[in-house]
Structure 1
């Protein structure tokens, strides 16, 4: 198994391998161009994202600047994914994001890690573990998602949280380390923020 194959196996590998570096540079050139686009160039941005990402669903929006080790080359987005400023994806291996998921500003999704043993780090070794995020999730500003984490559907993660372990579907979670606080419940169908009530007519199209 060569270093390029080891990127997606969880094995230690050399990220400075010439074949890997050549692909990465091409990806970063595209990312650079994306980040130089003007706000009025929405169609151009959309076309660029479809070219940059492994998969880009319909009606997605990423607010530049976007930061990604491989410019989205190993990233799959469903439909209607939204990312605010400074989404950072350490996409040395696969990141999968379900439809209708939202990222606040300064969210980081990391797939890469380095051995604790200093002798191995000194040689530049790295390993990667994929991240999987379900549908209709919301990540507040500054959330950090660490390598190997899987997050279910309809999950809300509070701002500033560090997600170190898997999270099940339909929960609110926050903290450092991030922990499940409670399930999404009937209270959330009545109130959207503190004492602010949801207009029942908003559910009309679900009947």
Structure 2
């Protein structure tokens, strides 16, 4: 699964690993809002690597959890979904809007291979200082470059370079982020 070659996801071992993640997520998603420390402990036991402070608004969904790495000062809003059959690496100071999905897994085009249960997964990398707006889907194998912003509702099917604003379905670069964005806050809202 982690090597990027086709695999069968419905075997006993992977099923049990997903079930383990679901148990932890059920507990995380159903704790009272005041139980922040307890939620953090559950995420620390679920995710593969956490570099520093983080905050995830429940509900959260993932397949395995152990393939997810997050950097310092990470924030994810409500309904963050990570299908982490491959590694998902998230850098420092990343902001994730509500209803964002990071999908590392794909199914074959051929119906016979799909019916046999084959899947393939490819790593997703989100570099430092990225902001992903609400209702964004990031597809398998994508890298989003440092400092970039993905506009709400986008479907990211290809790599996004550093220091750009990208939007749409499929997501495309709208423009570069410039020094003018530091002083013209109204412009940043357009």
- TM-score, normalised on structure 2? 0.96
Q: 1:85 aligns with which of 66, 78, 81?
A: 78
| Cα shift readout 1:159-187 (whole Å, capped 9, x = no counterpart) | 00000000111111101110111111022
The runs of 5 or more residues in structure 2 that have no matched partner are none
Q: 2:135 aligns with which of 142, 145, 148?
A: 142
The corresponding residue for 2:43 is 49
Distance 1:19 1:82 in 2: 31
Distance 1:31 1:182, change over 3 A: same
Contact 2:67–2:85 under 8 Å retained in 1: yes
Deviation of 1:27 (Å) = 1.6
The corresponding residue for 1:170 is 163
- TM-score, normalised on structure 1? 0.88
The corresponding residue for 2:148 is 155
Q: 2:184 aligns with which of 176, 182, 191?
A: 191
Return the structure number with greater strand share: 2
Q: Of the two, which has the highest radius of gyration?
A: 1
Distance 1:76 1:41 in 2: 23
Alignment of 1:99-138 (within 5 A): 99-138=92-131
Q: 1:21 aligns with which of 15, 31, 34?
A: 15
